[in-house]
Amino acid sequence: MITRCIIRKNAYYDSVFLMRVAKRISGQKGILEAAALMGTEKNKELLSDIGMAGPEISSVRPNDLIIAIRAEDEEPLSAVFENIDHWLNESQGQAGTIPCRTLEEALTHLPHSNLAVISVPGQYASREARKALEHGLNVFLFSDNVSVEDELSLKGFAREKGLIVMGPDCGTAIINGIGVGFSNAVRRGPIGVIGSSGTGIQEFTTLVHHFGSGISHAIGTGSRDLSDAIGGITFLSSIEVLDSDRETRVIALLSKPPGPLALQNLIHRIIQCRKPIVTCFLGPKQDPDDANLRYRKARTLDDAASLAVQIATNNPSPRLEDRSFKFQELINRERIHKSPEQKYIRGIFAGGTFCYQAQQILQDAGIMVHSNLPLEGNSKLRSPLLSVEHTLIDMGSDEFTSGRPHPMIDAGLRYERILAEAKDPQVSILLLDFILGLNASPDPAGELLPAIAEARGQTRKQGGSLSVIASVCGTENDPQNIQRQVKALEEAGVVVFSSSAKAARFCGFLVTGCPEESSVR
């Protein structure tokens, strides 16, 4: 086995493109492992951790590209060396775009721009966002690792200028029917949504679509906006925007529970709002609603979408067009062939909000879980790499994605984790989410089906039977097509629900006993 590095000085490539290059190299015959990263200190540490280090790597700079390859012998390496420049040049397909190196230059070509979409590494993101705001652009800030101080400063500056900062760590927006970042192809309609998480917005907007209604605008705020440190600046600006928007008839607010000060700001703004508001603050159970409340509270994303559609369309009970499950039969089917020791759920999530919501649903059912990002009342895992009893893992959190692609783009990490879980003879249920839409993996189900089949085989060998329960977030108009994804999963024996909340609830029933059918539908 040999390890080699290719260094390209002053050659910057984005992380998604480099993930594809690394995957392409890894797929060549005789290649054991490959990484393609820019030469930041953090990336150099990551390479060192996997045994790829040396003087040539230690001297590179953040503008330099490192491709580190481990191969069986020299022959496959030579093949990679021959092709690498071609693969890199295929890159960022600049066809049809005007080559610009600075924002100022770009603005001379597109002076009527109204949005900067920023996804540079975190340490440079605030600088680029501030420049964009100075030039009068609104900002969609996908980058993470931006400090709270910088976020507050950027959002304060934006507010002064009458602009908006969506983010940092903003995954999703839909503006006037146009998806930005990770978003789904949903119908236009009367419901506006403001949300602190990308996957929360994706689930809400696709559910509204499946309920037969549509979205006016979906505005992402970044996960910390409703903390007391930020005070909900983007939430408040967005409510103002949607309140005066002609298309929007109902406004939904999605977040974890706001900080007490941020909540005060929010309620103050809600009282002034002329349109009905639905909130979904995922988290532990709270006190019953105050009768004088000026907004309608929903406990799950499903309830929020349903409530918003009811209000917007005067339809008293919108329903998802689920195929009809014979519930008791389904539970019986999933429970047979279990070994006596099989009792635990393992949720392996790509979407952080799905992991959080599933914890809430299971906690409400009396099932406490371990997690790398635990809901209040649940336990934090000692190591995110090792599951214990009932465990729900957010595989998109920093400890997994540092230097590696997010599981919505590449299923590699979830693939390995599914196989690892199946080796534990106490595991009975695997709970998964599949997220479709722009910029997501072209085939999320297809990427994991081999792992699911292998995991089931492993459990059978151990004398048991593995239940695989899933939800697919997407629409028939997404590039991956939800029907095709669901069919592929069902043909592999996966039980697929039309929402993440339903899938989590079903897992709870498998553990605790049979439900009333109506409580799942």
Partner 1 sequence: MSDKLKDLLQNGPIAINIGIFDFAETLKIQGVEVIHLNWSPPAGGDPELIELLDQLL
109 in contact with partner 1 (CB under 8 A): yes
98 in contact with partner 1 (CB under 8 A): yes
**Residue whose CB is less far from partner 1, 61 or 380:** 61
Tell me the closest approach of the beta carbon of residue 24 to partner 1, in angstroms. Answer: 16
Q: Residue 61 corresponds to which tokens in the numbers above?
A: 């700079």
Q: Residue 331 corresponds to which tokens in the numbers above?
A: 């539970």
17 in contact with partner 1 (CB under 8 A): yes
Residues 200-229 that bind partner 1 (CB under 8 A): 217
145 in contact with partner 1 (CB under 8 A): no
Cis omega (within 30 of 0) for bond into 121 = no
**Residue whose CB is less far from partner 1, 106 or 368:** 106
**Residue whose CB is less far from partner 1, 148 or 178:** 178
Tell me the closest approach of the beta carbon of residue 115 to partner 1, in angstroms. Answer: 4
**Residue whose CB is less far from partner 1, 251 or 451:** 251
> Per-residue x/- mask for partner 1, residues 237 to 266, rule CB under 8 A?
x--xx--xx---------------------
**Residue whose CB is less far from partner 1, 47 or 470:** 47
- How many whole angstroms from its chain centre is CA 318? 26
Residues 162-191 that bind partner 1 (CB under 8 A): 162-164, 175-181
CA R_g for the chain: 24
Q: Could you tell me the strand order of the sheet in which 178-181 lies?
A: 178-181, 172-175, 215-220, 188-195, 250-255, 277-281, 296-297
Task: Quote the CA–CA distance of 127 and 359 in Å, as a whole number.
Answer: 37
**Residue whose CB is less far from partner 1, 144 or 334:** 144
**Residue whose CB is less far from partner 1, 124 or 460:** 124
Single-letter amino acid, residue 233: I
109 with 97: CB under 8 angstroms? Answer: no
SS3 7: strand
110 in contact with partner 1 (CB under 8 A): yes
Task: Quote the CA–CA distance of 71 and 189 in Å, as a whole number.
Answer: 53
Class of residue 177 by CB neighbours under 10 A (exposed 0-12, middle 13-18, buried 19+): middle
Using the rule CB under 8 A, which residue among 26, 28, 119, 315 binds partner 1?
119
Of the candidates 309, 316, 312, 313, the residue with the CA atom closest to the CA atom of residue 207 = 309
Task: Quote the CA–CA distance of 198 and 181 in Å, as a whole number.
Answer: 9
> Per-residue x/- mask for partner 1, residues 434 to 473, rule CB under 8 A?
----xx----------------------------------
In 10 A of CB 262, how many CB atoms? 23
Number of residues that this document lists for the chain = 521
46 in contact with partner 1 (CB under 8 A): no
CA triple 213-216-217, angle to 5 deg: 130
**Residue whose CB is less far from partner 1, 184 or 428:** 184
Number of residues counted as binding partner 1 (CB under 8 A): 65
Of the candidates 202, 254, 205, the residue with the CA atom closest to the CA atom of residue 232 = 254
b/e sequence 37-67, b meaning 16+ C-beta within 10 Å: bbbbebbbebbeeeebbeeebeebeeebbbb
259 with 226: CB under 8 angstroms? Answer: yes
Task: Quote the CA–CA distance of 395 and 400 in Å, as a whole number.
Answer: 6
Tell me the closest approach of the beta carbon of residue 100 to partner 1, in angstroms. Answer: 6
Pick the stretch among 22-30, 47-55, 199-207, 236-244 that binds partner 1 (CB under 8 A): 236-244
246's CB contacts (< 8 A; 6+ apart) are: none
- How many whole angstroms from its chain centre is CA 461? 33
**Residue whose CB is less far from partner 1, 158 or 495:** 158
106 in contact with partner 1 (CB under 8 A): yes
Tell me the closest approach of the beta carbon of residue 408 to partner 1, in angstroms. Answer: 12
Using the rule CB under 8 A, which residue among 32, 100, 229, 514 binds partner 1?
100
Using the rule CB under 8 A, which residue among 46, 117, 152, 511 binds partner 1?
117
Using the rule CB under 8 A, which residue among 143, 265, 300, 462 binds partner 1?
143
Pick the stretch among 8-16, 79-87, 389-397, 410-418 that binds partner 1 (CB under 8 A): 8-16
**Residue whose CB is less far from partner 1, 216 or 378:** 216
Which is it for the CA torsion 498, 501, 502, 508, positive or negative?
positive
Interface residues with partner 1 (CB under 8 A)? 10, 12, 14-17, 40, 61-63, 91-94, 96-103, 106-107, 109-110, 112-121, 123-124, 127-128, 132, 136-138, 142-143, 161-164, 175-181, 217, 237, 240-241, 244-245, 438-439
